[in-house]
Amino acid sequence: MRLFATALLLCLCAGASAQDYDREKRWADQILPGLMVGEAIWLEQAEGHKFLALYTEAEKPRGAAIIAHGRGWSPDYELYGSLRAKLAELGYSTLAIQLPVLGGGAKIGDYLYTYPDAGERFELASKFLQGKGFRNVAIVSHSLGAAMANQYLINAKQTAVKAWVFIGIINGLEEMFRIKIPVLDIYGGKDWEITQVGSAERARQIAKVPGSRQIMVPEALHFFEGREDELSRLVAGFLDEVFHSNNPASAVSR
């Protein structure tokens, strides 16, 4: 009986962690025909899976940002489509990546098994931007994508990422002392309860990391509906501080 229960648990865990590549394809099939901003590229993982990324070049880039979406969404869904376009207008080229997705009924906890895969995707995205000549690379992540980025930055032995912005993160930060780059925590005054409740602990965590801070945007919802311009300016302003505050001449460099 114990052996059966163990086997059943393993099957349930495997089922929960099975990535939905068909869902990724459906997102891509919806995005590509109407893509008006940026270009679609495909990045290939070690096991051969190719995932969609949307690259948008700024006219005179001061750096680049990897845009990471929340649970089950796509790199062009609403907030993420706005961020990737608006940050490019503000001088930061963007690479919005498709992160792992599960079936529509998957819960937050089910995604824990996908974090290593997400880490590989962040690494491939950073290498792509390095290949484009960018020295100043950041991650701008939202909700579950922020939790995935947190794990990537904790576990990466080396990374080209030099700044991290997380928006509406869904849980507390883990081992922030191991992340040596400046971070910006942004959340809304009407964000999800889990995000608001965790703000005090997050503030204590990021206080350990030089150059980091937390911003609460009054009245903003979890997806910052109607506040995308304000959010993009906050992100770009932080990246300017991190990358260029001590070197004005670098304002038009990569």
pTM of the full structure: 0.90
Q: Is the dihedral of CA 67, 71, 76, 77 positive or negative?
A: negative
Helices (H) and strands (E) in the chain, counts: 8, 8
Domain residue limits, the chain? 38-247
- pLDDT class of 6 with cuts at 50, 70, 90: very low
- 3-class SS of residue 170: coil
Q: Please, are residues 124 and 140 in contact by the beta-carbon 8 Å criterion?
A: no
Neighbours of 156 (CB within 10 A): 16
Is CATH 3.40.605.10 correct for 38-247?
A: no
How does pLDDT run across 145-198, given as a tens digit for each residue? 999 999 999 999 899 999 999 999 987 677 777 888 999 999 999 999 999 999
How does pLDDT run across 59-84, given as a tens digit for each residue? 999 999 999 999 999 999 999 999 99
How does pLDDT run across 100-118, given as a tens digit for each residue? 999 888 998 999 999 999 9
